[in-house]
Amino acid sequence: MGAKMITTRAIPAQRYDFSDEDVELILTQFGSLLRTRSFLSMGAYCAAFEERFAAYVGSSHAVSVSSGTGALEIILRACDLAGSEVIVPTNTFAATAFAVVHAGATPVFADCGDDLLLDLDDVERRLTPATRAVIVVHIGGLVSPGMDRLQELCRSRGLMLIEDAAHAHGSRLNGICAGTFGDAAAFSFFSTKVMTTGEGGMITTASAEIAARARTLRDQAKVDGVNRHDLIGYNWRMAEVQAILGLAQLARLDEFIEARRRVARIYDQVLRQEPQRLRPLEIPPGAAPNYYKYVVFADSDVAHITSRLAAERRVRLGGAVYDVPCHQQPAFSHLVRAPVLPRAEHLCRHHICPPIYPSLTDDDASYVAESLIEVVS
């Protein structure tokens, strides 16, 4: 018998979604903005975006900025953490640690647990008298079930708790929304995120003081908007057109998340056929992730899986979270105190993230999962 013929279809790793209706609304609003000759940054649309985002998250304050990385650095500066140590999960994008360095603090890398999230036992081991903050990263949109313990640890030690919520728009734990667990949180609206403004970020906080300092710092640290500077600021302003995009995306956020969960359910169902070779990340009770990423652990060579999926099935995988931990990045070699963080090193090498986005159809999701099974088998 001849080889089985496989009908392939091209599946990109990521797509953002704007409906035709939203595109028309965005173009209309942008045209109206240009006709008013209003300022094209930090205007009425940014103010509206901040108000609606704060209401969605359940936060007292929201401050729009130019990027998620900028949001995180502003928080660190607003909390005056220069000269201190900040615990950072080694399993995160380098930008988390970059923000710490740019804010004048030192990142101290901690290992991850089996869920790729911050290992709280390792956090406690790495605390020193110089530690003043812990950054928790909601990897792939999953809020750690250990959040209560982390909050108590930070309270008892007098540490700031900062959320890197770049992945976690609309994610919840026990009904509580990401962005409200710590002293402040940083969101990203990069093109790959669950909701996007192209570039852009948002700070959420219950602290009026942090919010006020963040608003000052993002606009070159101008005091009351005039040419006086008590702090060292920077240009972290959000453009009005980004806020227009953000308002449209925020209105669809629950819809986007439900569509991602639909794809996740299909992956769960199909991948049960290969429980030994493919193990989807288990979602703990009480957690309601937005499925920014769908994580699958694999014992086989993930580079081989990735290349075969692309070559034989035309399926492009989404970026891993993450393939190289921060303590193994050359940029941080001079900061590393623990040259081996074993769980992160193992799990970062042994997971993949299949495509997941709202416009991925049920048939396409089944095709991706079945292709993955075929490749590992």
Those residues with Cβ within 8 angstroms of residue 260's Cβ, 6 or more apart along the chain or in another chain = 194, 290, 291, 292, 356, 357, 358
- Banded model confidence at residue 300, pLDDT cuts 50, 70, 90: confident
Q: Return the residue matching tokens 């309270």.
A: 155
* Over residues 103-124, mean pLDDT: 97
Q: What is the pLDDT of residue 233?
A: 94
- What is the total residue count of the chain? 377
> 35 with 180, same domain?
yes
Residue 320 placed within a domain: yes
- Residue 107 domain flag: yes
Q: Which domain holds residue 340?
A: 253-376
Q: Which of 231, 251, 271 is the last residue of a domain?
A: 251
- Please return the burial class of 373, using the count of CB atoms within 10 Å of its CB with bins 0-12, 13-18 and 19+: middle
pLDDT at 1 over 90: no
Contacts of 100 (CB under 8 A, 6+ apart): 76, 81, 86, 88, 106, 107, 135
Task: Work out the average pLDDT over 203-229.
Answer: 95
Higher pLDDT, 135 or 275: 135
49 and 182 in a single domain? The answer is yes
Q: Is the pLDDT of residue 196 over 50?
A: yes
Backbone angles phi, psi at 62, to 5 degrees: -140, 135
Query: What is residue 361's predicted lDDT score, i.e. its pLDDT?
Result: 97
Give the torsion through C-alpha atoms of 197, 203, 205, 208, to 10 deg.
-120
Q: 218 in a domain, yes or no?
A: yes
- Based on the domain organization, do 272 and 143 belong to the same domain? no
- For residue 2, pLDDT beyond 50: no
- The CATH number that applies at residue 87 is 3.40.640.10
Q: Which stretch of 74-78, 231-235, 248-252 has the lowest confidence by average pLDDT?
A: 231-235
In the predicted structure, residue 268 carries a pLDDT above the cut 90: yes
pLDDT, tens digit (0-9, with 9 covering 90-100), for 71-113: 999 999 999 999 999 999 999 999 999 999 999 999 999 999 9
Alpha helices in the chain (DSSP H): 20-36, 44-57, 68-78, 94-102, 120-126, 147-157, 208-218, 240-251, 253-271, 302-308, 342-349, 362-376
Q: Find all residues with CB under 8 Å of 294, minimum gap 6, and list them.
A: 140, 263, 264, 267, 280, 281, 353, 354, 356
Does residue 199 have a pLDDT over 70? yes
Q: Report, as an integer, the average pLDDT of 157-181.
A: 98
27 lies in the same domain as 157: yes
pLDDT digits (tens, 9 = 90+) for 18-67: 999 999 999 999 999 999 999 999 999 999 999 999 999 999 999 999 99
pLDDT higher than threshold 50 for residue 3: no
Q: Is the pLDDT of residue 6 over 70?
A: no
Pair (200, 297) in one structural domain: no
What is the distance between the alpha carbons of residues 112 and 91, in angstroms, rounded to a whole number? Answer: 7
- Mean pLDDT value of segment 316-337: 94
Specify whether 244 is located in the same domain as 359: no
- Domain membership of residue 233 (yes or no) is yes
**Of the candidates 232, 251, 270, which is a domain's last residue?**
251
Tell me: do 230 and 278 sit in the same domain.
no
- Does a structural domain hold residue 138? yes
Q: Are 299 and 279 in contact (CB under 8 A)?
A: no
The helix/strand/coil state of 13 is coil
Residues 11 and 150: their CA atoms lie apart, in Å, by 39
96 and 234 share one domain: yes
Look up the CATH number of the domain holding residue 287.
Answer: 3.90.1150.10
The total of other beta-carbon atoms located within 10 Å of residue 208's CB is: 10
Answer yes or no: is 15 within a domain.
no
Question: Lowest-pLDDT range, 45-49, 80-84, 162-166, 296-300?
Answer: 296-300
- The average confidence (pLDDT) of the chain is 95
Does the residue 6 lie in any domain?
no
* CA-wise closest residue to 356 among 275, 287, 253, 262: 262
Residues 229 and 160 in one domain: yes
pLDDT band at 276 (very low <50, low <70, confident <90, very high): confident
Give the chain's domain count.
2
Return the pLDDT at 279: 95
Tell me: pLDDT of 123 over 80.
yes
Q: Do residues 110 and 238 both lie within one domain?
A: yes
Residues 335 and 205 both lie in one domain: no
- Residue 3: inside a domain: no
User: Is there a single domain that holds both residue 61 and residue 176?
Assistant: yes
